[in-house]
Amino acid sequence: MKATDLPTPSIESELFANSGELGERVLAYEWAATPLGPLQAWPQSLQTLVSLILRARQPMFLAWGTDLRLLYNDAYSVVLGSKHPRALGQPFATAWSDIWPQFKPLVERVIAGESLSFDNLPIRMQRNGYPEDTWFNFSYTPVQDEAGQVAGLFCVCVETTGKVLAERQLRATAAALAELNAELEERVDERTRDRDRIWRLSTDMMLVADFQARIHAVNPAWTAVLGWSQEELIGTDFRSLIHPDDIESTRHEIDTLTEGLITVHFENRYRHKDGTYRWLSWNAVPDERFIHAVGRDVQAEKEAADILHRTEEQLRQAQKMEAIGQLTGGLAHDSTTCSPAILVVWNC
């Protein structure tokens, strides 16, 4: 067989060669049965545009002719979903019948010569057998034939559904976090107000001091109990107020707190501004830097206990004296009648 006897590839085959699945489908399609006519009779402008679209990696389509027949590439077949491959060669209004009411006014503007572009346009479509909300960036450009008349519509598009939904979820998450933060801040503020209220109104003495016994904060109860103002106490060593007899036990308790242990019902005496001493009972907990302590004035309890102790002691002494009196009185009575032997014992 001579080389001249080999079949000569058609210009169309060369034009659409290596154009993926849709290139093969365009070549095999029975275009003669459509208003576009046979492929060989297509105008150069149409062939060039279709060749460009088929080789592109971005989703593109061309709607050409009086009823806007669809030609598209492999990337756009993903956008079509289950409408592919049936949509190839169909009129735009037929292939996209579910969105045609939304797009008809746009298409009419383009055919009239206007170029359009949209970002994240919401489109409710049914491309996979069920309605779904989608979003697209795309442009519509009018395409002219050899006579200079608008013969079709060229579209380049990118689906942004995933991006839009992700951003929407991100905004919803951010809003939820903002609401949660606001709620947490309100709770913190409320607890801070409660803590401040307790700090200000508590009748118990509250103390924040470091492990060197330097006072960093005291509540107003110190003034009520010991007469010292907050200004007089901040920065001073609280050991300077402790009764000399209680210094050693207090030092031991500070050492215990330094080791991370807590103090429960530790009692010592603090000097009042008038020079007297008052008994206080302390509960304290340490953190990394400070001792946090709450002291209760137990002076009245101590005095009451002392009075009770003295009263009980006086009562015991009175009862003892009464018993001795009864005993001596009985012996004196019995001495008038007792035997000489008893008298001897008594006189002894």
Residue 101's CATH number:
3.30.450.20
> According to the 3-state scheme, what is the secondary structure of the chain?
CCHHHCCCCCHHHHHCCCCHHHHHHHHHCCHHHCCCCCHHHCCHHHHHHHHHHHHCCCCEEEEECCCCEEEECHHHHHHHHHHCCCCCCCEHHHHCCCCHHHHHHHHHHHHCCCCEEEEEEEEEECCCCCCEEEEEEEEEEEEECCCCCEEEEEEEEEECHHHHHHHHHHHHHHHHHHHHHHHHHHHHHHHHHHHHHHHHHCCCEEEEEECCCEEEEECCHHHHHHCCCHHHHCCCEHHHHECHHHHHHHHHHHHHHHCCCCEEEEEEEEECCCCCEEEEEEEEEECCCEEEEEEEECHHHHHHHHHHHHHHHHHHHHHHHHHHHHHHHHHHHHCCCCCHHHHHHHHC
Taking phi first (over 0 means left), then psi (-120 to 50 degrees means alpha), and beta for anything else, what does residue 287 get? beta
Range of the domain at 85: 3-165
Same domain? For 58 and 149 the reply is: yes
List residues bridging with 62 in a β-sheet. 71, 154
User: 143 and 65 in one domain?
Assistant: yes
Whether 220 maps to a domain, the answer reads yes
pTM of the model: 0.57
Phi, psi of 158 (to 5 degrees): -140, 125
C-alpha torsion sign, points 310, 315, 321, 327: negative
For 128-136, the CB contacts below 8 A with 24+ separation are 128/81, 128/82, 129/82, 133/161, 134/159, 134/161, 135/159, 135/160, 135/161, 135/163, 135/164, 136/160, 136/161
Give the chain's end-to-end CA distance (angstroms, integer): 168
Residue 173 lies in a domain: no
Q: What is the reported pLDDT for 343?
A: 42
Tell me whether residue 282 is in a domain.
Answer: yes
Residues 134 and 216 in one domain: no
- Residue 105, preceding bond cis, omega within 30 degrees? no
d(CA 156, CA 161): 16
Q: Identify whether residues 160 and 18 lie together within a single domain.
A: yes
Cα 152 from Cα 142, distance rounded (Å): 6
20 and 151 housed in the same domain: yes
The answer to whether residues 72 and 140 belong to one domain is yes
CB-CB neighbours of 154 under 10 Å: 19
Q: What is the pLDDT of residue 186?
A: 85
What is the number of domains present in the chain? 2
Instruction: Judge if 219 and 117 occupy the same domain.
Output: no
Q: Which residues of the chain have pLDDT under 50?
A: 1-9, 338-339, 341-348
50 and 147, same structural domain? yes
Are residue 97 and residue 242 in the same domain, yes or no? no
The verdict on 70 and 120 lying in the same domain is: yes
In a domain, residue 338? The reply is: no
Contact 130, 157 (CB under 8 A): no
Q: Does 128 share its domain with 210?
A: no
d(CA 331, CA 279): 50
Tally of residues, the chain: 348
Identify the CA nearest to 41 among candidates 49, 33, 32, 50. 32
